[in-house]
Chains A and B, each alone.
Chain A
Amino acid sequence: MRITLFLLRRLAGGLALLVVLSMLVFGLLYLSPGSTLQVLMGSRPPSPALVRALNAKYHLNEPVVLQYWHWLEGAVHFNFGVSISVETGEPVTTLILDRVGLSAELALYALIIVVLVGIPLGMLAGTRRGRATDRGISLVSTAAVSAPAYVTSILGLYVFGVALGWFPVYGLGTGFAGRLWHLTLPALTLAALLGAIVVRQTRAAVLDVVSQDYITFARLRGLRRGRILLKYTLRNAAVPVLTSAGILLIIAITAGLFIEQVFSLPGAGTLLLTAVTDKDIPTVQGLAMALGILVVVVNLLVDVGVLILDPRTRFSTKVR
């Protein structure tokens, strides 16, 4: 019951955060240089008739508070308006739903690579502290986490797309196999960055866990190495790794933006870039909400995951 209340409190906090976020995004876009009207008119001279028509259509001559209210009114009914300039006339919800799927596919693909490669490498480095394996893994992960996403993207594109010709340099492909092939290079690029963080987190957590008494006792009891690693080390090291998911999400969103751009993937990242540049307020607002919801939900899931993994946190929740 107390855990339910705790989760409800987190949900309410998330909702309040979304409202504040929407106000901030709307206000900042409004205050940024240039006008939406100018974006709509493009590079052509405005005629009074054109200005009147556009103002009326998009409520541009109304006070900013009223403009925000119009948006909020629609948003509570899940109507985020229509795109002003990215795809003129297209409902924002449709636009986002069309794009977010690709970003989710890319993120999932990268996540699978991270889990399958990053966590085992981190554990390997942690259990072989100070040895050549540890140094090698640490060196590679430091390089991967330090390299800017756009540099690794372009290098990857050149080496594997142009020089070696293993992967396509743009496009989405058709069918499952085609899509998988087209997303492999961007997913690897994203996974390199995220994996490096996971490797370092896992290594640090494993280093902490392997020095605990219960691991020593497990060894003394003659338990198999694999069992100690999976049952004792991995489970106890999982909490700090899991709690880093929030950071990973933010990095994935930021890096994904560059990666989508370089690999010409029309996902949520490229949509956000275009919408911000073109001052397409309804689209930016819709995307900000979608990303905000994603962050709130992921953080909530992390909380639930930690509660499941570590019984002590359940106890502390009850006490609070």
Chain B
Amino acid sequence: MHQRTTVHQRKEKARHPGHRLGAVASASGLLAILALAPATSASASAHGRAQGSGGSTFTWALDDPQSSLDFAVDPEIQGTGMVMSLVTQPLEALSSTNQYTPVLATSVDLPNSTTLVYHIRSGVKFSDGAPLTATDVAWSIMHAVQPSLASATQMPSIASATPTGPLAVTVKLKTPNPVARADIAMTVLVQNAAFAKAHASALGTASAVPIGTGPFKVSSDTASNITLVRSSGYWGKYPPFNSVVFPVITDDNSRELAIRSGSINGSELVDLKDIDQWASIPGVSVYKSPSNSLDLVGFDVAKPPFNDVHVRRAIAYAIQKQALAHAALDNNVSPVSGGLVPDYEVSDVAGSLAAANKFISTLPSYNYSPSAAEAQMKQSAYPHGFSTTVQYIDTVPWELTFVLALQQELKPLGITVTPKPVSFNAWFGDFFSHKLVGLNLLTLANALVNDPSGILTYFVGPQGSYNFAQFQNPVVDNASNVVNSDVSSAQRWAATKVILSQVADQVPYIPLWTEPSPLVLKGYKFTSSSGLTLFQMTTGQWIYDLKPAS
């Protein structure tokens, strides 16, 4: 099974005590008062302000300290990825439409279904002056597949990477994999192998920060901030900043005050319900950056009462997605209907977004209908209802609201819901070990590649590591294998349609919506009005996509 997804990247941060602390203070209504207060002119003159447009320092606040600056150890795109992609570079930049742009590799040959040959750019030097060689690239790929490192789960099909020329690296796959190239593009940031080997035990800590070929190098890495300065002799075009500072401000309210005061230029916004509050700050732009973060409801179809398809359909009809999106997330989400994943994640194999949508529109969408819900319930083995416990992760703000609303929505069907709080770690421990029972919510399941094997096949079949619904049958299992194999796009699309149809008919999951990745800027704007994609964050492109607000 290919592992190309991450779950819960942003909300995982929400469990950090800083955010809990923030929630407490917000609850006190304090920030509501502060939100109404205008920033004074006095605030603009204080020392330590981030430089505005035309300045040479860009300041981006991190909402969590980085556990390592080695991207293979901590492959969190919105943290380590944003910082280290300015220092260490990928071989290629992958786009949201699955297009590849050369970075450290000028081209890639695919001689057969299990071999990739990377041709490395010549004349590139690391920030310490050493030339980039095939050995560095091969080592970086093999470093990322070390079983003890988190990045390894994203590159399960890599068997070996060996230098086959001064500037050529051959990667061998264990089995054909349609997205192996994308995995490498999104996961491997190339670093100086000699330095890394010499500092193996401390690599990624402040005493051994990886050395890369990017436009910046790390000048200091402390618990309070990470500072990057320009690396002399960079092979490409420099971004318009001499330095980039990443202060660590874990508390949401403190981060908001920092941007109010002009001390920072930008930050990620953790809680979607805070978007309006942040957007009201003078001079601040809030971007609801598109993401693949999927939220859904899943049922354990192997055990009663959710092994009854009529019960599952009844619940699907009873959920008012639009109203819940409004109540739980202030409507800051994009609904997903008719398929398990957003249309753009299957558009590549479908041939186009229109083709994907044309098929998805034929699938049942289970729009809110109390009468349809009632009819389905009557057909089930539980016409008078039943009682069930629904867990929610106590640090994910929308889940509690959702479960409480669900409790009311299912009452008319005779279903009694008892909410039960659970910690992030406990829930995900059960999730990955497939020990979840009953009805569950999954938040922020991310696909790193827009491909059906990026996330869709994770939710079905015996090999599906996200298949907490235990949804499997010979038809789906076979289709899943086809999607994950190196066959033609037409065959993969046909198999994808089988999976989507089965999910829509059997309702092991109810897709809800995708959450955006909100970003905040002051003094600058992104060149795209929609903000940044994960793909820009992990390639270092994001720094080039900034322009002065004026």
> Which residues of A are interface residues toward B (Cβ below 8 A)?
32-35, 37-39, 41-47, 49-50, 52-54, 57, 83, 85-90, 98-99, 150-151, 154-155, 157-158, 161-173, 258, 261-266, 270-271, 273-274, 276-279
Contacts and interface: CB of A to CB of B under 8 A. Distances in A.
B270 interface: no
A169 B148 CA distance: 39
B30 A151 contact: yes
A170 B263 contact: yes
A86 B248 CA distance: 13
Given A162-B260, A266-B222, 19 more contacts: A33-B422, A41-B150, A43-B7, A46-B432, A46-B465, A53-B147, A87-B205, A89-B204, A98-B223, A99-B223, A163-B42, A165-B45, A167-B46, A169-B257, A169-B258, A170-B61, A170-B247, A264-B251, A276-B17
14 contacts: A38-B428, A42-B74, A44-B3, A45-B432, A87-B65, A89-B68, A89-B204, A158-B37, A162-B260, A163-B42, A170-B254, A170-B258, A173-B48, A274-B16
Contacts of B146: 53
Nearest to B66: A87
B25 A49 contact: no
Given A88-B74, A150-B24, A171-B224, A264 B147 contact: no
Contacts of B203: 89
B266 interface: no
B234 interface: no
Given A161-B257, A163-B40, A45 B5 contact: yes
Contacts of B152: 47, 49-50
Contacts of A157: 254, 257
Contacts of A89: 68, 73, 201-205
A39 B425 contact: yes
A154 B34 CA distance: 10
Best-buried of B67, B150, B422 by chain A (most CB within 10 Å) = B67
B70 to A, nearest CB: 8
Contact of B7 (A44, A50, A85, A98): A44
Interface string B384-399: 0000000000000000
A171 B50 CA distance: 12
A121 B248 CA distance: 37
A91 to B, nearest CB: 9
Contacts of B261: 161-162, 165, 169
B21 A261 contact: yes
A157 B261 CA distance: 10
Contacts of B254: 154, 157, 169-170, 261-264
Interface string B126-158: 000000000000000000001110101110100
B220 to A, nearest CB: 11
Q: Which 3 A-B pairs rank lowest in CB-CB distance, beginning with the nearest?
A: A34-B425, A266-B223, A53-B148
B18 interface: yes
Given A157-B254, A161-B257, A262-B21, A42 B48 contact: no
Given A151-B30, A171-B247, A261-B18, A44 B426 contact: no
B249 interface: yes
A223 B523 CA distance: 66
B466 interface: yes
Contact of A264 (B7, B206, B247, B424): B247
A50 B466 contact: no
B48 A168 contact: yes
Given A163-B37, A163-B43, A34 B423 contact: yes
A47 B30 contact: no
B224 A264 contact: yes
Contacts of B17: 261, 273-274, 276-277
Interface string B247-277: 1111101100110110110000000000000
Nearest to B9: A43
B154 A262 contact: no
Contacts of A270: 18, 223, 250
B30 A261 contact: no
Nearest to A85: B67
A279 B148 CA distance: 18
A165 B9 CA distance: 34
Contacts of B45: 165
B425 A264 contact: no
B237 interface: no
Given A53-B148, A163-B42, A43 B68 contact: no
Contacts of A167: 46
Contacts of A161: 46, 257, 261
Contact of B429 (A34, A169, A262): A34
Contact of A50 (B18, B73, B148): B148
Contact of B3 (A47, A83, A99, A264): A47
B439 to A, nearest CB: 20
A265 B224 contact: yes
B65 A86 contact: yes
A228 B67 CA distance: 57
Nearest to A32: B423
B162 to A, nearest CB: 20
Contacts of B25: 150-151, 154
B150 A44 contact: yes
A251 to B, nearest CB: 17
Contacts of B12: 42-43
B99 interface: no
A167 B146 CA distance: 46
Interface in B16-73: 16-18, 21, 24-25, 28, 30-31, 34, 37, 39-40, 42-48, 61, 65, 67-68, 73
A223 B203 CA distance: 69
A86 B153 CA distance: 21
Given A34-B429, A38-B425, A162-B261, A43 B67 contact: no
Given A47-B152, A89-B201, A258 B21 contact: yes
Contacts of A86: 65, 67
A165 B76 CA distance: 34
A279 to B, nearest CB: 7
B40 A54 contact: no
Contact of B43 (A33, A150, A165): A165
Contacts of B148: 50, 53-54, 57
A264 B250 contact: yes
A44 B21 contact: no
Nearest to B8: A43
B46 A166 contact: yes
B425 A33 contact: yes
A98 B223 CA distance: 9
Contacts of B121: none
Contact of A266 (B28, B30, B248): B248
B4 to A, nearest CB: 10
A45 B28 contact: no
Contacts of B65: 86-87, 266, 274
B15 interface: yes
Nearest to A89: B205
B6 interface: yes
Contacts of A50: 147-148, 150, 152-153
A273 B65 CA distance: 12
A109 to B, nearest CB: 17
Contacts of A264: 224, 247-251, 254, 258
A52 B148 CA distance: 8
B225 interface: yes
A41 B9 CA distance: 12
B517 to A, nearest CB: 15
